[in-house]
Amino acid sequence: MNRVKSVLAFVLILALGSLSAISQPNRSGPPKLGPPPALKLADIQHFKLSNNLPVVLMEKHGVPVFQINLLVRTGSVNDPQGKSGLANLTASMMEEGAGSRTSLELADAIDFLGASISAFSGMHTTHVSARAPVSKLDSTLALFRDVALRPTFPSEELERARKDRLTDLAQAHSEPSAIASAMLSKTLYGNDHPYGHTATGDEQSLRSFTVGDLQDYYKTYFHPNNATLIVVGDVDPKTIIAKLNDLFGNWKDGDIPTHTYSDVPQVKQRQIFLVDKPDAAQSEIRIARIGTTRATPDYFALQVLNTILGGAFTSRLNMNLRETHGYTYGAFSGFDYRPMPGPFVARAAVQTNVTDKSLTEFMKELNGIMQPIPADELDKAKNYLALRYPENFQTVAQITNQLSDMVTYNLPDNYFNNYVQRVLAVSEKDVENAAKKYLDPSAMDIIVVGDRKVVEKGIDSLGIAPIKNFSIDDVLGKAPTVEGNK
């Protein structure tokens, strides 16, 4: 009997040893990724109110919250001549009093509900947004309607907003990043294109605004035939459409002005624009040219291309300038997709004493991206985009933003569910063709904001382009005083 037990024990030890050997993980390299899972969102539902105001709705149950956005198709591109910043100011002033409530009364009412209501404007769209618990749906929608349809634009709040913006403009003179961005817009688009102006306005326009300007702008563009409602959350479609019809169904259409803009010529050669920021500890670098529109059929190839170049932490630009050389905390690139061609920009804030060396590395990577992409680097970029894409749909706010893009750029309803497959379908040739079509390292504007007396000689010695010198006032105008509406 004891002999049998000994044999069984020995067999068991051998079995456990074999099992242990089998279960040992392979640590010779990282585990292989499986195929990225396909994204599957709830159906996008479309409705129209009694006045034909479109409603785009996606149900998201499980958490009792909702968000609603009113998207209006107007923004800074519609600022009148000499009135830059009007769209931005009008949107922000919609929060400063609506219906029968003053600014403070409106803020108190929103806070009491545990809700959030805001208005903001971009280049082509303006949004009024509300988010709240579903238990406060009716009260929140009533306040949302007042902000969207009954803003009062009180004169005392306009004066406060004016001073805030003049203060921001004055502070921009000491912010190299703001200076570089303004210079980039000027060099690429010029004074005659709306993309060449700052969305927040200049001193002259800010001092000129009246309540009448805000009212006229609002009355011109805020109509149901120029808008869409977007709803996401734990809602019943039939119920909320009925409520929205009661609140917005009597809103009247208007005659919406149309605007056309001439095409901006592409950058033809390399040029360095050096803006002097005395005693700057860092130099802000922007390397840019005209990119393309959001509607480009090359969108997915460009997404993969830019991920490799400067769109991720492990991108070529960041690994070179940050990890290898330690010149910066981060180097990035990106295409700014808009209804009209937006810019391509490569950028970084680098240590002053390596400004010239940093430009050398930027040009090295911009030239390198024109060469065929290795297969493993291509796959890595595609997986990066595909695997992280679903994180854009975790909250009602994120989904609302995605649906806003869908409405703004007329994307199909199946766009989000097909995104991963389209990224994975991008080929090496697609990326190579996109690089040749949209990037030309020999024809880019190079903006440097830094201490001229320290950086100019080194930049000039590179011989990569002629230098034009500017002061901060050349870019932003003189810093305004803010003691009053002078």
SS3 assignment, position 213: helix
Question: Kindly report the CA angle at 269 between 265 and 271, in degrees rounded to 5?
Answer: 105
In a domain, 74, yes or no: yes
Alpha carbon distance 26, 336 (integer Å):
43
Structure tokens at 385: 């985009």
Question: Is residue 95 located within the same domain as residue 198?
Answer: yes
Q: Which domain holds residue 79?
A: 45-248
pLDDT in tens, 246-290: 999 999 999 999 988 888 999 999 999 999 999 999 999 999 999
**pLDDT of residue 40 exceeding 60:** yes
**pLDDT of residue 17 exceeding 80:** no
**pLDDT of residue 332 exceeding 70:** yes
CA 200 from chain centre, in angstroms, equals 16
Element (H, E) at 12: helix 2-23
For residue 441, report the phi and psi dihedrals to the nearest 5 degrees: -60, -20
User: Which pLDDT value is given to residue 18?
Assistant: 56
User: Which pLDDT value is given to residue 485?
Assistant: 45
Question: Is residue 201 located within the same domain as residue 57?
Answer: yes
CA atoms within 13 A on the CB side of 31: 4
Q: Which residue has the tokens 């492990």?
A: 314
* Mean predicted confidence (pLDDT) in 316-343: 97
Question: Is residue 226 located within the same domain as residue 298?
Answer: no
For residue 384, report the phi and psi dihedrals to the nearest 5 degrees: -60, -50
Question: Is residue 206 located within the same domain as residue 294?
Answer: no
User: Which pLDDT value is given to residue 486?
Assistant: 44
Alpha carbon distance 356, 171 (integer Å):
27
Question: Is residue 108 located within the same domain as residue 204?
Answer: yes
Question: Is residue 277 located within the same domain as residue 240?
Answer: no
* Reported confidence tier of residue 3, pLDDT bands at 50, 70, 90: low
Question: Is residue 223 located within the same domain as residue 283?
Answer: no
Alpha carbon distance 409, 411 (integer Å):
6
For residue 227, report the phi and psi dihedrals to the nearest 5 degrees: -150, 165
Mean pLDDT, the chain, integer: 93
Question: Is residue 391 located within the same domain as residue 445?
Answer: yes
Q: Which residue has the tokens 């010149």?
A: 327
Question: Is residue 330 located within the same domain as residue 408?
Answer: yes
SS3 assignment, position 385: helix
Pick from 208, 233, 248: which residue ends a domain?
Answer: 248
Contact 289, 440 (CB under 8 A): yes
pLDDT in tens, 175-226: 999 999 999 999 999 988 999 998 999 999 999 999 999 999 999 999 999 9
For residue 104, report the phi and psi dihedrals to the nearest 5 degrees: -70, -40
Question: Is residue 224 located within the same domain as residue 288?
Answer: no
SS3 assignment, position 56: strand
**pLDDT of residue 72 exceeding 80:** yes
* Mean predicted confidence (pLDDT) in 393-415: 97
User: Which pLDDT value is given to residue 108?
Assistant: 98
Question: Is residue 285 located within the same domain as residue 218?
Answer: no
In a domain, 26, yes or no: no
pLDDT in tens, 131-165: 999 999 999 999 999 999 999 999 999 999 999 99
SS3 assignment, position 7: helix
User: Which pLDDT value is given to residue 28?
Assistant: 75
* Mean predicted confidence (pLDDT) in 300-304: 98
- Number of helices followed by number of strands (H, E) in the chain: 18, 14
* Reported confidence tier of residue 38, pLDDT bands at 50, 70, 90: confident
User: Which pLDDT value is given to residue 49?
Assistant: 98
Number of separate domains in the chain: 2
Q: What percent of the chain has pLDDT over 90?
A: 88
**pLDDT of residue 299 exceeding 50:** yes
DSSP states of 248-304 as a string? HTTPPP--------PPPPPP-S-EEEEEE-TT-SEEEEEEEEE--BTT-TTHHHHHH
Helices (H), 289-374: 299-309, 316-318, 355-368
Q: What percent of the chain has pLDDT over 70?
A: 93
Alpha carbon distance 228, 126 (integer Å):
11
Question: Is residue 356 located within the same domain as residue 440?
Answer: yes
In a domain, 327, yes or no: yes
